[in-house]
Amino acid sequence: MLDYHMHVENYYPFGRTPDTRPEGTDPMETMRLFAASAAARGVEEIVITEHVYHFTQAKEIVDRPWSDEKCFYDMDEYLDLLQSARREGLPIKTGIEMDYIEGREPVIERIVQDYPWDFVLGSVHWIGDWGFDLASMADEWDRRSVDEVYRDYFRLLGQAVQTGCFDSMSHPDLIKVMGHMAEGDVTDLYEGFAEQVSGQAGLCVEISSAGLRKPVGRLYPERPLLEACARRGISITTASDAHVVEDIGRDFDQVRDLAGSCGYREAMSFDHRRATPVPIE
């Protein structure tokens, strides 16, 4: 199995000065820790995919009151560490989770094109100024129609797809994260998303175990959405979205089962943004 979505922010915040980093932090030891944790779960290859809004070079992507507190990584230092880990022989690829923000497309395109990524994830976490997956903003759900929120989310997800910037769309139905399931029929949203993805050559969709650790308690995506992708021949990537090493490869038996039940026998591995199929075992 491959784990193509994880974060190291709890272990090594890139760009902070040594006196503000977690005590005892060693960048390369962090990389070895991630690789060893992956191997212990039978994961043969991983991609580190930090959120783009953490990086000073992409500060304008998320213009929020808290962005100065979150934006402290240096992208060049981040890339240098991941490339050094690869040269050391660790099965680590260089990635980024590119949060799509409406109106920030030029910045997104610049970051994608100007850096030597192996793999670029696309994701939507914001509807306007609302971070719908943030516990601190959960009350906003009580003021909105769930079905309308779903439609807003999939509209933005479609816009993200249309940029052509990404290699895989991560947790494609993240909108359910807090446990709010659509009340009406959303088949048209699933089918429309799959049709848009199929129009972008080589674009994959992620199957992620992360939802099992969220209030919703379900894999991403729902089976009907994945089936819509499978019918169109859309490839997949597999992921845990781990923020701690204990979650790398976690619940991949369920990821494997969902993929297989929808007809998938391979997941995609990426190198310099070129995809190679790998059997799901």
- For the chain, list the domains and their CATH numbers: 2-279 (3.20.20.140)
What is the pLDDT, as a whole number, of residue 281?
Answer: 77
Q: Measured at the alpha carbon of residue 121, what is the angle toward residues 26 and 14, in degrees to the nearest 5?
A: 20
If we measure between CA atoms, which residue out of 233, 268, 8 comes closest to residue 118? Answer: 268
How many residues in the chain? Answer: 281
What is the pLDDT, as a whole number, of residue 54?
Answer: 84
Task: Provide CB contacts within 8 A for 19, sequence distance 6+.
Answer: none
What is the pLDDT, as a whole number, of residue 155?
Answer: 98
If we measure between CA atoms, which residue out of 137, 9, 135 comes closest to residue 69? Answer: 9
Task: Outline where the chain has alpha helix (H).
Answer: 27-40, 67-70, 75-87, 105-114, 146-162, 187-198, 223-231, 252-261
Answer for the pair 237, 93: CB distance below 8 angstroms, yes or no.
no
Answer for the pair 6, 49: CB distance below 8 angstroms, yes or no.
yes
What is the pLDDT, as a whole number, of residue 59?
Answer: 78
pTM for the predicted model, two decimal places: 0.93
What is the pLDDT, as a whole number, of residue 91?
Answer: 97
What is the pLDDT, as a whole number, of residue 56?
Answer: 83
What is the pLDDT, as a whole number, of residue 74?
Answer: 87
Q: Give whole-number Cα distances, 79 to 58, 94, 209, 241, in Å.
A: 14, 7, 26, 19
Residue 122 dihedral angles phi and psi, to the nearest 5°: -110, 140
Low-confidence stretches of the chain (pLDDT < 50) are none
Residues linked to residue 95 through DSSP beta bridges, in sequence order = 49, 119
Residue 271 dihedral angles phi and psi, to the nearest 5°: -145, 120
Q: Cα–chain-centroid distance for residue 89?
A: 24
What is the pLDDT, as a whole number, of residue 60?
Answer: 77
What is the pLDDT, as a whole number, of residue 61?
Answer: 77
What is the pLDDT, as a whole number, of residue 117?
Answer: 98
What is the pLDDT, as a whole number, of residue 66?
Answer: 52
What is the pLDDT, as a whole number, of residue 194?
Answer: 98
As a whole number of Å, the end-to-end CA separation of the chain is: 7
What is the pLDDT, as a whole number, of residue 184?
Answer: 94
What is the pLDDT, as a whole number, of residue 23?
Answer: 59
